[in-house]
Structure 1
């Protein structure tokens, strides 16, 4: 499984594939939406082909640390085919037509996302919360149905499939964060994290504990903190251990290192033609044309938007909603932290890598959520994104430079990433507030198009979160460290690991890109089931919600050859019961089996 250690994943002995292929459904992407779609569709009798731009990894091929750059970072032009994408979205500097444009700051953002077979599950923090109540009450979709009620059984199903359990240990970072919550007067909100990890006995390999023997063997968690560089030990419940594993063994095909360049209606008038190339290959090779009756976009909020925008600009999908790109969300997020200087950390014997990536959280106010986050030993590359913490407001860059100039001996240690993961507690701050960006597809330099952002609906996307900054300053006091923010924040460019929206659910094409069944308005046979279809900020890690929304959407598909129970595209919404699959992949008595 995957490429051999030390090889270039684009070097392949397989012959060029240039023949047409016919399948019932093409799924673009293999993350939390695409993997759910692949499994549920093969269970309903469809032939399914999953196209993934990233490479496939066996556990031992995942990077040992973040310094294994070719396996950790995603930059195909530089022959890096890793699991961590870093994308800068520049600002157009003006609000989109029809939007309030509530923010006065430029709407630029640095986006962290996943790559590879398994999508974001390879690099995410295996943290699986249900959203805060404001998510269901967001005005974008609250009038359509009782979303909390409709999604509840699908959250339960996704939790069973992903093996969610409450983390049982309290680590040094948890104790520090609990003290911060107490000092902020919200100690009662502190709690352990629901995680998708096979805890078991550390290092013990056991038969499939989740799917009645239909899944792979698993290994008990070592609590080494290396979840976000890809778990090399077989404990993390990534999608290649559940949804994708079962889908492939039930007949789905997964084609890695395959980049989709276009999706357009087939000349025959039935279905779609999907054109692909070999990821990163230069000159371009392995061009292929695939015919599919239906297409599921599940490449992640950023890549799904990019492809849809490109197809509308090219005239291939001209009837896409004008709301494409609107209500793009950052989960109202900031990534901060506190770092103890090297010598002080060594004297104290500090090691904050113990545990899984996220082990606890608390709420400084009802709309804000703070989590301590960690990397494993030696995974210090992301420390290069850290700098001195500075609050928002006028002359922010000048104040940031002033902080560094006045206290150079305090902040010089932040330039060193030596033992950074051992001596740092990262603070992930998220909110459920109604703010957004609008993403455009613009012609840039040299005639190339790129995505760019503008202020969107609601208040401006926050460039800093006061409650988060206060929590990090208290955290630094607690551990004897230095409060830090992201190096981009002084330039009013927040960092988010959870870009969402841009192809959201709406009652009509004038209100959203997809209908409540996740079908694309204007183009029957197209669907969006990834983070792009998440309609509001959640205030928590979004992976479980993406999976639950996908579970719901796919549960409403008919079995192959059966009448479609859903109303016609564009008709008023009607709540319908799920359709049980004709050939389930999981034994009916297994813990994760569907309960109809």
Structure 2
């Protein structure tokens, strides 16, 4: 057993759960190390458009050192972020509170008085993240409102709550202000210019990413961030239950050959590497952490999402202006649609767009091909990447209806050299019929072309940016991986505090809930004596 440790706490991952944990633990007087696989970014570093693949995509094996990752699995395509600040660097800023019903569903039901406890933590999260109602409505938002009114959903239209600094009333876009959130203790900020580039990295210092709040204060209080570093092993020191601390083996995440492998020791470890990252690490460490629950990898959820849209060829509209997700509507009690955009010129995602047709399986593929032959001009326009961001109103559709996946490590025929994280089990719904009807009607009414992704048409593969679960809460190890205080069953000083812990389908963007849950988790850890 080590007499001393390098850190009191090591936090693996710097997304919403990790940043909150690092900030609050440093505030309580602990020595904290934060291990982050991605790079550290500044406003000057971000790409101007998504065509700069080397700065946008995270694929170190291909020498792409950006912050946006697309991970295809058998059952779903998962979009995620890798950077100091985690997904906050590339997310769409949307900060919504889920309906109260989510606390009565899933594995966390009855583990706490959630409806009494959570409002205070949501309030703290909103304050720290600088959440405000979006005042900038662009063409995409106005068009969504017109579409909703045409189909009888007009009263449900809302402007999103977002983590963006809009400046003082009357400010010109881009006005510089000293820290507006933390009594002058935080970094200076500029007011939003409404360029629509939130998901390509904010180049104007208006987006409230985690490196401007939680991580900023964590570092001010002494936390050390180890960027471009991957954890490849985690094992207890001394006692098998982790009561003597843990040893983490780490290496460079961006090097091909000289990975500088080394070890770090910690009294406690917080796993906040995202749902995929946390599952993957715990599964790979099953030999050294054999008591981890067999529920690991189960109850993975995607917010029951679908991504469709309407493209308007020509120059009449500019759908790129505004906030990445500036507004939304509800089309029934379980389903809502958000208006999504990318900045002008960020057309790379147009490469995977295609003409929308309804249906499932082979019939859908044949219908798609038939429509392509019947309407070749429309077919080409739907898939033409150039002008995609300016012409396209993207619909992010989410539901509170539950559907789960299972993930596991196994060798694939095309890569037998090592085990890969793979999805398994029953398929989840690929599309949402009610949203499809809304999209087709809206396109027909307002002169657009309905679109979807080629992965959905050809491979029956839905997309999600909101993968949660896999290490969910439960009342014991037979029902979950962690308890209601985020402690891993069977181990001392080992926690899971990120989206992997969420025990039900939220039906809304999960960033605010992950932040609030992390704030709650930190209340159970006393200050350092």
Q: Hey, what does 1:150 align to over in structure 2? A: 117
Q: In 1, Cα distance between the equivalents of 2:38 and 2:128?
A: 23
**1:526 pairs with one of 475, 486, 494:** 494
Superposed, 1:294-443 pairs within 5 Å as: 294-312=268-286, 315-341=287-313, 345-346=314-315, 348=316, 350-395=317-362, 396-443=364-411
Cα drift, residue 172 of structure 1: 1.6
Q: Do 1:176 and 1:475's aligned partners in 2 also have CA atoms closer than 8 Å?
A: no
- 2:479 counterpart (483, 486, 511): 511
Q: Which residue of 2 aligns with 1:573?
A: none
Q: Distance in 2 between matches of 1:284 and 1:28?
A: 22
Matched with 1:34 is 18
Residues 128 and 544 of structure 1 are in contact (CA less than 8 Å); yes or no, is this contact kept in structure 2?
A: yes
Cα deviation 1:399-426 (Å, max 9, x = unaligned) = 2222222221211112211121111111
Contact preservation (8 Å) 1:176, 1:478: no
Q: Is the 8 A contact 2:361 2:460 kept in 1?
A: no
Query: Paired residue for 1:210, among 181, 188, 208?
Result: 181
Look up the match of 1:246: 217
Residue aligned with 2:247, SS:
strand
TM, length-normalised to structure 2 = 0.95
Query: 2-side partners of 1:28 and 1:392: how far apart?
Result: 42
Structure 1 residue 180: Cα displacement? 2.0
For 1:249 and 1:392, the matched residues in 2 are separated by 54
Give the structure 1 partner of residue 51 of structure 2: 67
Distance 1:472 1:143 in 2: 38
Match of 2:416 among 446, 463, 474: 446
Q: Secondary structure at the match of 2:26?
A: helix
**CA distance in 1: counterparts of 2:124 and 2:182, whole angstroms:** 13
Relative to structure 2, which stretch is displaced further, 46-55 or 57-66? 57-66
Give 1:394 deviation, angstroms.
4.6
What is the RMSD of the two structures over their aligned residues, measured on CA atoms? Answer: 1.4
Larger mean CA deviation between 276-285 and 524-533 belongs to 276-285
Partner of 2:245: 271
Report how far residue 268 of structure 1 moved.
6.3
The within-5 A match list for 1:119-138 is 119-138=86-105
Paired with 2:8 and 2:209, the residues of 1 have a C-alpha distance of 26
Residue 588 of structure 1 corresponds to: none
In 2, the alpha carbon distance for the partners of 1:401 and 1:156 equals: 50
For residue 280 of structure 1, report the CA deviation from its aligned partner. 2.5
Show CA shifts across 1:355-400 (max 9, x none).
1101110110111110010001111111112112122335222222
Provide the C-alpha distance between the structure 2 equivalents of 1:69 and 1:290, rounded to a whole number of angstroms: 33
Displacement after TM superposition at 1:43 (Å)? 0.7
For 1:407 and 1:264, the matched residues in 2 are separated by 59
Q: Could you tell me which residue of structure 2 aligns to residue 257 of structure 1?
A: 228
2:36 equivalent in structure 1: 52
The equivalences for 1:528-567 within 5 A come to: 528-561=496-529
Equivalent in 287, 290, 302 of residue 264 of structure 2: 290
Q: Across the two proteins, how many residue pairs are aligned to each other?
A: 515
Indicate conservation of the 8 Å contact 1:134/1:538, yes or no: no
**Structure 2 CA distance for aligned equivalents of residues 71 and 399 of structure 1:** 37
Q: Matched residues in 2 for 1:530 and 1:84: separation?
A: 18
Instruction: Determine helix, strand or coil for the equivalent of 1:60.
Output: coil
Partner of 2:151: 184
Structure 2 Cα separation of the partners of residues 169 and 204 of structure 1: 15
1:139 to partner: Cα distance:
3.6
Task: Output the CA distance in 2 between the equivalents of 1:243 and 1:194.
Answer: 19
Once the two structures are overlaid, the 10-residue window that deviates more, 45-54 or 478-487, is: 478-487
Deviation at 1:476, TM superposition (A): 2.0
Measured against aligned partners, the alpha-carbon deviations of 1:68-96 in whole angstroms (never above 9, x if no partner) come to 11110000001111110110112xxxxxx
Runs of 4+ in 1 over 3 A off after TM superposition: none
Find the aligned partners of 2:181 and 2:359 in 1 and give their Cα distance: 47
Shift of 1:467: 1.6
> Offset at 1:478?
4.6
Aligned partner of residue 9 in structure 2, secondary structure: strand
Task: Kindly state the Cα deviation for residue 175 of structure 1 after the two structures are TM-superposed.
Answer: 1.7
Q: What are the equivalent positions in structure 2 for 1:199-238 lying under 5 Å apart?
A: 199-200=166-167, 201=171, 202-238=173-209
Alpha carbons 2:44, 2:203 under 8 Å: kept: yes
Alpha-carbon distance in 2 for matches of 1:115, 1:291: 24
Query: C-alpha deviations, 1:327-360, integer Å up to 9, x for none?
Result: 100110011111122xxx22x2x21111110111
* 1:479 shift after superposition: 4.0
Residues 133 and 473 of structure 1: CA distance in aligned 2, closer, same or farther (over 3 Å): farther
